[in-house]
Every structure is written in structure tokens, then in C-alpha cells.
């Protein structure tokens, strides 16, 4: 029965079950008072049928949200049958609140024509109660004229609630449509920007490669080591700048949904933060020589090499990292308590070193490991 009376996939709420239970208990109590106390010549044997039959009037309240029209129909038929069988029993004490509640539900939850049918059933229930209830023998028309307009007003309030609910639903739908349109427009704008940036990237490559070609063509005279070194350094700086600009443009062109990282690549200036994260604030970092800006690839590899070598050591404050800037090489020395099964981390560091044709030497003595990596770099120009 419950499944048959569901409407729009909505279930019966606990509140409605509570209301139906409360009205049923009140109805049974009043029915008992009428049958066994109030009416002296009433057939008490029939009371056993009058009491449970009256539940058909109150129980449909539980379905007032999911099937208000069906609930009104069941209540109307139950009132009609109950009044025809037990016309001496007073039913208005509970019947009127039930009809008002169901009339409001019909007005607030049904379409216009179904709602009007519910209103007709509610008014019909009032007529049945007024016609058969002994309380209104002398004023049947008066009670109908009094309760009928109340039912109509309650139903009209339900219609206002229904109208506002439809308006709110329409607004939600329009809002969702506008949000979808806004997101689509944003995607189109992003696609347009990416197309523009792709064009700029192509122009940048053409311009930068042309500048590098001109620098190479205008090379120094053979045998002039100082000018040769300066020219190579200038070419390196221009190449570095080109790579940085390309990285910035490519970072913007990456698909955000893929979760690609667009943060700047780590450099030697990030080693201190790496050391603190990996081994604690008491781990030591020493910088020797003449610090200077190195090629982006060398700085990134140096950072990763130190990262791998730190992973090969135990988590301890007794870890030392030394970065030494030589004239033609960058030397990295990492030492600390050795860790078991550190071969994989050391091999990853060795692969990074080999990318730059460098060397990596490792030693372990007394439970302490030391690794020294040497990365060749171009010497700075002599001024």
C-alpha cells in the first residue's frame, strides 16, 4: 500500500507518521468516550467495529505528502461509511482537523485540477460530518457555512505555497543553467587564451633561436680564450632565459584538470628548506666558493641529487650538506648516518649525475655514509 501511494519518489516522513498516530489516538479516545460513555442506548457491541473503522479516517494523514488526493479520497469514503453505520457517534472533533490538514496538502503539493479535486473531497467530508454528526442536528447548514470557508482558505494558502515552491524550483533551474553557461564560456575563454599563448610560444622560439644563431655566427676570433668564454656564457644566459620563458608559457598551457604541477622548478636556493623538511632544523648546510647563478638544468639536477642522497640517510640531526662552487664544477657533499637498503636512492642520484657527465663517489665507515657528486659547469666570464 505504501509503495502504491508514493508520489514523485518521495517517502513517508516521520513527522507525518507522528501526526497520523496522534490523531488516531485522539480519535480512538473520543470515539470510546462517545460509544461507551456518552451514548447510553448505543449498542456497545458495535463499538468494537466503530473504533477500528474510524482509523481509516486518521491513518491516511501519513500519506498527506506522497499522495494527498488518495489520502483525501480514503478519508472521505471512511467518513461516509462510518457516518452511515454509526450516525449517533460524534466524529467532528478529529474529522475536521484531518480534513483541514489534507486540504492544505492537496493545495500545496498537487497540480491545479488534482488540487481542485482534493478541495471538493475535503468540502464533501465537511458536508458528510455536518449531515450525520448528532452535534449539528439543529445547525447543519451553519456548520457547513462556517467550516467550508475555512477549508477553502486553508486550501488557498496551500496553493500559495505551491506557487512559491514552483517559483523557487524555476529559479534553481535557471541558476543551474546560467552556471553551466558561465562555465562553458570560461572554458572557451581558456581555450582562446591557450591558442594565443601557443602562437606566442612559437614566435618566442623563432626569435630566441634567431638570436642564438646570430650570437654563434658572430663568434670570437680563433685563439681568443677570453672572448670565446664570454660568448659561450652569453649564449648560455640567453638559452636559460629562453627555457624559463618557455616553462612559464607551457605551464599556462597545461591542462588544469590533469592536476599538472605548474610551480617553479626547485633550485639550489631551496636546499635549506629541503634539508629542514627531510632531516630537521639541526641538520647543517654549508656553502663554499663563489655562489652564482647556474644553468637551470644543473640547478634542478643538483637539487634532486641532494634530495636522493638525503633519502639514503637515516632521519637524524647529524646530517651535513656542503655545496661548493668551483670555477668549472659544482661539488655536492652529503654525509650522515647510513640507512639500510639505500641503494635505490643512490642509483637515482647517480643517474642524475651521469646526465651532466659528472661523477659520484660514496663511502661508508662506522655506520656513517658520505657521498660526493661533481657536476661540470661552464666557468664564468672573466671581466
- The CATH number of residue 281's host domain is 3.30.565.10
Angle subtended by helix axes 112-132 and 140-217, to nearest 10: 160
94-126 burial string, b = 16+ CB within 10 Å, else e? Answer: bbbbbbbbbbbbbbbbbeeeebeebbebbbbbb
pLDDT of residue 332: 93
Task: Answer whether residue 187 is part of any domain.
Answer: no
Q: Which of 258, 292, 311 is the last residue of a domain?
A: 258
Contacts of 129 (CB under 8 A, 6+ apart): 79, 83, 91, 92, 95, 96, 99, 136
Task: Answer whether residue 381 is part of any domain.
Answer: no
pLDDT at 244 over 80: no
Q: Are residues 115 and 218 in the same domain?
A: no
Angle subtended by helix axes 68-85 and 92-109, to nearest 10: 160
Is residue 230 very low, low, confident or very high in pLDDT (cuts 50, 70, 90)? low
pLDDT of residue 359: 92
pLDDT of residue 268: 87
Is residue 196 very low, low, confident or very high in pLDDT (cuts 50, 70, 90)? low
Q: Are residues 161 and 35 in the same domain?
A: yes
Q: Are residues 300 and 158 in the same domain?
A: no
Q: Are residues 37 and 14 in the same domain?
A: yes
Q: Are residues 24 and 145 in the same domain?
A: yes
Among residues of the chain, what percentage have pLDDT more than 70?
Answer: 68
Task: Answer whether residue 33 is part of any domain.
Answer: yes
Q: Are residues 226 and 342 in the same domain?
A: no
* Mean per-residue pLDDT of the chain: 77
Greater pLDDT, 90 or 55? 55
Which cell is 173 given? 533551474
Q: Are residues 133 and 21 in the same domain?
A: yes
Task: Answer whether residue 382 is part of any domain.
Answer: no
Q: Which of 173, 205, 220 is the last residue of a domain?
A: 173
Q: Are residues 162 and 213 in the same domain?
A: no
Task: Answer whether residue 181 is part of any domain.
Answer: no
Q: Are residues 137 and 45 in the same domain?
A: yes
Structural contact between residues 100 and 93, judged by C-beta atoms closer than 8 angstroms: no
> How many structural domains are present in the chain?
3
Contacts of 352 (CB under 8 A, 6+ apart): 301, 304, 305, 308
Q: Are residues 107 and 233 in the same domain?
A: no
DSSP states of 321-363 = EEEEE-SSEEEEEEEEEB-TT-HHHHHHHHHHHHHTT-EEEEE
| Residue 36 to residue 41: CA distance in whole angstroms | 10
Domain containing residue 207? 195-258
pLDDT of residue 5: 39
Q: Are residues 249 and 283 in the same domain?
A: no
pLDDT of residue 232: 67
Task: Answer whether residue 165 is part of any domain.
Answer: yes
SS3 116: helix
Q: Which of 173, 203, 238 is the last residue of a domain?
A: 173
234-253 burial string, b = 16+ CB within 10 Å, else e? Answer: ebeeebbebeeeeeebeeee
Q: Are residues 204 and 338 in the same domain?
A: no
Is residue 259 very low, low, confident or very high in pLDDT (cuts 50, 70, 90)? very low
Q: Where are the beta strands (DSSP E) in the chain?
A: 284-289, 320-325, 329-337, 359-365, 368-376
Structural contact between residues 338 and 294, judged by C-beta atoms closer than 8 angstroms: no
Greater pLDDT, 34 or 345? 345
pTM of the model: 0.45
Q: Residue range 140-165: average pLDDT?
A: 84
Amino acid at each position: 500500500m505504501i509503495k502504491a501511494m508514493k508520489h514523485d519518489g518521495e517517502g513517508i516522513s516521520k513527522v507525518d507518521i507522528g501526526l497520523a498516530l496522534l490523531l488516531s489516538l485522539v480519535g480512538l479516545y473520543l470515539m470510546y468516550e462517545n460509544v461507551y460513555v456518552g451514548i447510553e442506548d448505543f449498542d456497545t457491541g458495535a463499538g468494537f467495529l466503530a473504533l477500528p473503522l474510524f482509523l481509516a479516517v486518521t491513518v491516511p494523514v501519513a500519506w498527506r505528502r506522497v499522495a494527498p488526493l488518495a489520502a483525501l479520497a480514503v478519508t472521505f469514503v471512511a467518513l461516509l461509511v462510518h457516518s452511515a453505520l454509526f450516525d449517533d457517534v460524534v466524529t467532528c472533533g478529529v474529522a475536521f482537523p484531518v480534513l483541514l490538514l489534507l486540504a492544505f496538502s492537496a493545495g500545496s503539493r498537487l497540480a491545479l485540477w488534482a488540487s481542485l479535486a482534493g478541495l471538493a473531497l475535503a468540502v464533501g467530508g465537511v458536508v458528510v460530518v455536518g449531515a450525520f454528526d448528532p452535534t449539528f442536528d439543529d445547525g447543519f447548514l451553519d456548520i457547513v457555512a462556517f467550516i467550508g470557508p475555512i477549508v477553502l482558505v486553508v486550501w488557498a494558502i496551500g496553493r500559495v505555497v505551491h506557487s512559491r515552491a514552483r517559483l523557487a524550483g524555476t529559479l534553481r533551474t535557471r541558476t543551474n543553467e546560467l552556471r553551466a553557461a558561465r562555465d562553458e564560456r570560461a572554458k572557451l575563454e581558456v581555450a582562446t587564451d591557450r591558442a594565443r599563448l601557443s602562437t606566442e610560444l612559437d614566435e618566442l622560439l623563432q626569435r630566441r633561436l634567431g638570436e642564438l644563431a646570430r650570437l654563434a655566427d658572430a663568434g670570437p676570433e680563433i685563439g681568443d680564450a677570453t672572448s670565446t668564454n664570454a660568448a659561450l656564457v652569453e649564449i648560455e644566459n640567453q638559452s636559460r632565459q629562453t627555457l624559463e620563458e618557455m616553462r612559464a608559457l607551457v605551464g599556462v598551457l597545461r591542462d588544469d584538470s590533469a592536476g599538472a604541477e605548474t610551480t617553479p622548478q626547485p633550485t639550489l636556493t631551496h636546499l635549506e628548506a629541503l634539508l629542514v623538511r627531510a632531516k630537521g632544523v639541526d641538520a647543517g648546510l654549508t656553502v663554499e666558493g663563489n655562489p652564482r647563478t647556474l644553468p637551470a638544468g644543473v640547478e634542478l639536477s643538483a637539487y634532486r641529487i641532494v634530495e636522493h642522497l638525503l633519502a639514503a640517510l637515516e632521519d637524524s640531526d647529524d646530517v651535513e650538506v656542503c655545496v661548493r662552487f668551483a670555477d668549472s664544477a659544482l661539488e655536492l657533499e652529503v654525509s650522515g648516518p647510513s640507512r639500510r637498503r639505500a641503494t635505490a636512492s643512490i642509483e637515482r642520484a647517480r643517474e642524475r649525475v651521469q646526465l651532466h657527465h659528472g661523477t659520484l663517489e660514496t663511502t661508508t665507515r662506522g655506520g656513517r655514509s658520505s657521498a660526493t657528486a661533481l657536476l661540470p659547469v661552464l666557468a664564468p666570464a672573466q671581466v
